[in-house]
Structure 1
Amino acid sequence: MHIHDDWSGLPPDARGATVAMGNFDGVHLGHRAVIEAAGRATDAPLGILTFEPHPREFFNPDAPPFRLMNAESRANRLARLGVDHLYQLPFGPVLAGLTPEAFARDVLVGGLGVRHMTVGADFRFGRKRAGDAQTLADLGAALGFGVTAVKLIGNGTQDYSSTAIRIALSKGRVRDAERMLGHWHRIEGEVVHGEKRGRDLGWPTANLRLDGLHLPRLGVYAVLVDVLTGPDRTSCQGVASLGVRPMFGRNAPNLEVHLFDFDGDLYGQHLSVALVEFLRDEEKFDSVDALIAQIAADARQARQVLTGA
């Protein structure tokens, strides 16, 4: 998959795609329907048009973190779906100021040269969110590209949405989130140096930052781990603590992952960690020995859960 960070100056082979447009936070089943509709619309290459940062971050920078995926995780998921081109446009004052007409003319046609667009039925675009799916269809008819608006999908009682998935994760209901996503909720990123307490306790961990991400329920999870880079690329099971480490003072939330049956150096490598089942809330123990005993119990429970995952 080719990633493009602007809409101008694209090479000829990056123009003329059929493009699904949206924020695609989580790449859930509703998003998949929009992407699959783009894949069926024409025989042109399949493209995704999205924005980085998320427009909500631009307009409300002081809001609590809400994203289900960082840009790396979203790109990895889209690549798995067979996307040819990811147009990850920089969202800022320029894009925010474009009218729907200017966006269609300058970005979609002048920049990307789109053949066909697909969007969700509730999609809005352009300055002050003035454009909707019908606006896009009218502009497409005038400018020479087709448009498909895809109906929202759900389980009969609730539309699949990033908001519903955030609620499920906040309650530790990762399997409910998985049913809406169509895949396990994953946290991806570079392994950073921590305080190496896990190693001292006999349970070495890989640490991932959670900056900018919506926090699932704090606690311990059974996880599936993909090592994406480095000489020790592999897939394995594990147990992870997502939280603030209350035994050791007040800390910023992070994800500490212990990989079962793994022996390698992960610093600087990139991991993809799937939350498979919530095991327990974070606790502050009376002693280090009690903490070690609980970690061992968590690992046993995680292995049991993952055997059937």
Structure 2
Amino acid sequence: MIGKNMSEIEDIALGAFDGMHLGHKALFDRLSEKGAVVIIDKHNANITPGRYRCEYVDRPCFFYDIKDIKELDAKGFLERVKKDFPKLKKIVVGYDFAFGKDRKYSIEDLKKYFDGVIEVVDEVKKDGISVHSRVIREFIKKGDIKRANTLLGHTYKIVGEVVKGQGLGKKKLYPTVNVNPKDFVLPKNGVYATITDVNGFYEPSVTFIGKRVSTDKIFSVESHIIGKDIGEAKGEVTILFFDRIRDNKKFDNLEDLKKQIEKDIDIALEIVKEHII
């Protein structure tokens, strides 16, 4: 576990919290000024992995590594929590919360071994859809970014290190930043309207995901920054996704591909303007 001032925390929201979506926000809204988010990190989060979760809450975040607690029974886990948070008065969980090895313990076990308040938050729905990480993940995989963003309550993003590309874009097409996004679930192959943070500035962009079927057949994630020469990008890049423009498509020549990219740019600019202006 990491974090500060654990001894001052009086209430916690407890869960795995992959996605930090509207359902999770309903838990966070029940926290007091002395509240915190406690994340059981199973290392399989791929909508909002690792410490990126902390960007979406205005409370301290603390992590339990699943490897450290997976052998604990309900009583042992609650003893650990109460020891870590000696002033704890309330635990907030979702209606389907389960914990322990093979998720064998339930909310009733929390109530049995915790002498404070167990507050259970009901299912959250948006546009008639139950808000769950697994649902959002499937929307992302299908390329339905708009619906995923609606359930998230924020714009889906991926983060990755800049990697070397084939160099063709800068010479004959449009220059791109090539990214290796570790730990994040990728949207369905295709072309997306995005904004990309390169060197600390978010810029409108067109992002491609998939095999470069018109050139070297290599899988890539790459963004063209619209209307700006960013030079040589290095380090970490963040891409925020607004909507899907089209499928990946094979072109007979680079001139046809370039014309299509020009159309993609126009569409992306119109979409991005709706969100950032």
With structure 1 as the length reference, what TM-score do the two structures score?
0.80
Give me the whole-angstrom Cα distance separating, in 1, the residues matched to 2:164 and 2:51.
20
Map of 1:69 onto structure 2: 48
Identity, in percent, stands at 24
Q: 2:226 aligns with which of 240, 246, 260?
A: 260
Map of 2:63 onto structure 1: 88
- Per-residue deviation, residues 216-257 of structure 1 (Å, max 9, x unmatched): 221000112334xxxx422221111012222234434x4211
SS of 1:187's equivalent? strand
- Per-residue deviation, residues 99-118 of structure 1 (Å, max 9, x unmatched): 11111102x11224334221
Q: Which 5+ residue runs of structure 1 have no aligned equivalent?
A: 1-5, 58-65
Q: How does 1:240-259 map to 2 (within 5 A)?
A: 240-252=207-219, 254-259=220-225
Q: How does 1:1-309 map to 2 (within 5 A)?
A: 6=1, 13-17=5-9, 18-38=11-31, 42-44=32-34, 46-54=35-43, 57=44, 67-76=46-55, 78=56, 81-83=57-59, 85-92=60-67, 94-106=68-80, 108-113=81-86, 114-141=88-115, 145-155=116-126, 157-227=128-198, 232-252=199-219, 254-265=220-231, 267-309=233-275
SS of 2:250's equivalent? coil
Query: Structure 1's 278 and 82: CA in aligned 2 closer, same or farther, altered over 3 A?
Result: same
Give me the whole-angstrom Cα distance separating, in 2, the residues matched to 1:43 and 1:167.
34
Query: Structure 1's 139 and 250: CA in aligned 2 closer, same or farther, altered over 3 A?
Result: farther
- Per-residue deviation, residues 260-284 of structure 1 (Å, max 9, x unmatched): 2333356333333221111000112
Give me the whole-angstrom Cα distance separating, in 2, the residues matched to 1:281 and 1:184.
21
The one-letter code matched in structure 2 to 1:123 is: F
SS of 1:50's equivalent? strand
- Per-residue deviation, residues 18-39 of structure 1 (Å, max 9, x unmatched): 221111111110011011112x
Give me the whole-angstrom Cα distance separating, in 2, the residues matched to 1:150 and 1:37.
9
Query: Structure 1's 158 and 305: CA in aligned 2 closer, same or farther, altered over 3 A?
Result: closer
Task: Check the 8 A contact 1:72/1:189 in 2, yes or no.
Answer: no
Task: Check the 8 A contact 2:161/2:181 in 1, yes or no.
Answer: no
- 1:189 Cα deviation from its structure 2 partner: 2.9
Q: Which 5+ residue runs of structure 2 have no aligned equivalent?
A: none
Query: Structure 1's 112 and 267: CA in aligned 2 closer, same or farther, altered over 3 A?
Result: farther
Size of the aligned set, in residue pairs, is: 273
Task: Check the 8 A contact 1:237/1:303 in 2, yes or no.
Answer: yes
- 1:140 Cα deviation from its structure 2 partner: 1.5
The one-letter code matched in structure 2 to 1:259 is: I
Moved more, 193-202 or 234-243: 193-202
